[in-house]
Structure 1
Amino acid sequence: MENPYSIQNISIQSGDDRVEVSPFFTYIETLERNNQKNDGNVKSHNHSNLFQVTIIEDGDVSFDNEGKEQRIDYPCVILIPEGKYHSITYHKPTHGFMMLMSLESVNESLKQLPAEFTFSNETSIVSEEIAPYDFEDILALCRSLHHKMIQKDRGSLVIKKNYSVLTLLVILNSLRNAQKPNFKEKYAESSYLYKYKKMIREEVDAAGKVADYAKKIGITPTHLNRVCQQLVNKSALEIMHDNITLEAKKHLMHTTFSVTEIANILNFKDPSHFSKFFKKNTGKSPKFFKESIQ
């Protein structure tokens, strides 16, 4: 089976049409890495026999589509069919992913959608058409694929291909849903949940209040709770507690911080309060949890 890390396959990324592309070909890298290795400016190029998906979570970039340049609003997804010339300029640190996949993988994604769904063969920049909850799934899939990629495990070529197929399928299905009559109403509601989850991930604070987050979003706490219940069947407070618990587990599993230090990092008023919170949400004390994974 072909090694996707060979010099031949790497040369394809610059548009070398002399190389035959494996149906299993999948490549992904972070936009931070893409920015760094290209000194902030990816020159105009195209890809033969490959489809590119660029996912921009945040940052500031300009995208040139065959001579037409525009500033990109985030979050967004850029779909670039084979043979289309494009370039990108990074104006500041940008987060997201750049994924290349074989045309066979693209066709596999399209087969999963209704026959009436039409897919343009032109470069597409999509932002508002991607529902926030779908964008979260897209990022999660990209992170998993990137983790598999850096492991350089030849035995997981099929798994990597399946990740790329599923990622594109989520994007295309989101575009299909955007064509439905009630999309704008659902998009507005889901955008509140997306903003809320993004805020509590970026600033994990055990002393944080749902009312304060709701105010930053521009809605009432009651409205935020209703959205959370409708979309994920949990209250806003439960979602916040799940996030704090997850962050606590990460510290206990991957750092040498003491329970007291973790309590301070997560802004609990004291270690005892943190221990009670953690046991209530996991059934184990922080100390027992840490010992059980060592």
Structure 2
Amino acid sequence: MKQVIQNYDGLYGEQHAVILPDFVQIERIETRSFQHKWVIKPHIHTQLFQLFCVETGNGTVWSDAGEIPFCGPCLLLFPENTLHGLRYEVETTGFVLTISASFIDELTTKIPAISLETTQNQAISLQQQPAWFAYLTTLLNRLSDETADTLLGRAFVVQALLAALLTDVFRYVKQQIKPDFAQKNRRLTILRLFQKSIRHSRDPQKNIAHYADEQHITAVHLNRVCRDLMQKSAMQVVYDYFLTEARNYLIHSDYTVAEVAYRLNFTDPAYFSRLFKKQTGSTPKAFRQANQVGC
């Protein structure tokens, strides 16, 4: 039997949902990874952002975009609703910070300039930044102490530490972007907000004009941005989001085609199958048979 892709409303391996929008949790990498023999199977976190601060050790991130190797010291960033898994070298150490994605939205709304123009998993090497990495681990240690205590003003201090940590991380990541890439900032912001709306709406039948209205631009403008940056129409960007999820379910789960369609919020499984075939050249059933993985 194939393994079902786990979509957690909380932490990996736990079935209870977290309390949103104020969820903050920090733990050592080695705590949970040791329990799972240093392999975290591919999964998705609903409405949660994760930052891994790897101190020592190395490994591989699995994602729908392929494998990403990492070696400490480094940072691993996993936005909400992104498929990811990890294989660690035994005895890898560091921190895992998990917070409500709504906190990221709130922070980047207040400071738009630090907003990351990506919804993909990232591995950021810090081997050439030992002093800055030490500063980050100091913040994480303080954050760990604060979340474990019940001192007066705890919530305020936690929010302040999170804001300082994430602002510094996002600023650093943006500094790695080439100048010619940064000049596309306005169009990238439009694309990022469009992709964010696709994830939050989870409505495969939502009209492109509605997405454009949310940003007070025209559908023509939104299409132009998508073609400039992704060489795709806006509608194709929407289709790609749902088809990527569909492929993951078809390959890694035993859900029927109809169940996959309903999980992706298609009200008509037949329409989902027709769209899948039109976009991929094969039916969902044929795609699954051609991409069977080991039991």
After TM superposition, the score normalised by the length of structure 1 is 0.50
In structure 1, give the amino acid aligned to 2:139.
L
Match 2:74 to one of 68, 73, 76: 76
In structure 1, give the amino acid aligned to 2:57.
G
Equivalent position of 1:63 in the other structure = 61
Post-superposition shift, 1:16?
8.5
Q: Does structure 2 retain, via aligned residues, the 8 Å contact 1:46–1:85?
A: yes
Equivalent position of 1:281 in the other structure = none
Q: Render the CA deviation track for 1:79-119: whole Å, top value 9, x for unaligned.
A: 11111111112222112111111123212432454538542
Equivalent position of 1:246 in the other structure = none
Match 1:30 to one of 28, 31, 44: 28
Q: Distance in 2 between matches of 1:93 and 1:116?
A: 33
Post-superposition shift, 1:19?
4.4
Match 1:173 to one of 168, 171, 174: 171
Post-superposition shift, 1:26?
0.5
Equivalent position of 1:257 in the other structure = none
Q: Distance in 2 between matches of 1:131 and 1:148?
A: 26
Q: Unpaired runs of 5+ in structure 2?
A: 1-7, 180-295
SS across alignment from 2:119: coil
Aligned length: 172
Task: Let me know the Cα RMSD of the aligned residues.
Answer: 3.1
SS across alignment from 2:99: strand
Compare relative contact order (CA 8 Å, sep 6+) and give the higher one, 1 or 2. 2
Post-superposition shift, 1:136?
2.0
Q: Distance in 2 between matches of 1:11 and 1:158?
A: 25
After TM superposition, the score normalised by the length of structure 2 is 0.50
Q: Does structure 2 retain, via aligned residues, the 8 Å contact 1:129–1:175?
A: no
Match 2:147 to one of 127, 149, 155: 149
Q: Does structure 2 retain, via aligned residues, the 8 Å contact 1:141–1:163?
A: yes
Q: Render the CA deviation track for 1:99-153: whole Å, top value 9, x for unaligned.
A: 1111232124324545385421111111159844332221111111111223366
Q: Is the radius of gyration larger for structure 1 or structure 2?
A: 1
Q: Unpaired runs of 5+ in structure 1?
A: 1-9, 182-294
Match 1:106 to one of 87, 104, 107: 104
Equivalent position of 1:161 in the other structure = 159
Equivalent position of 2:47 in the other structure = 49
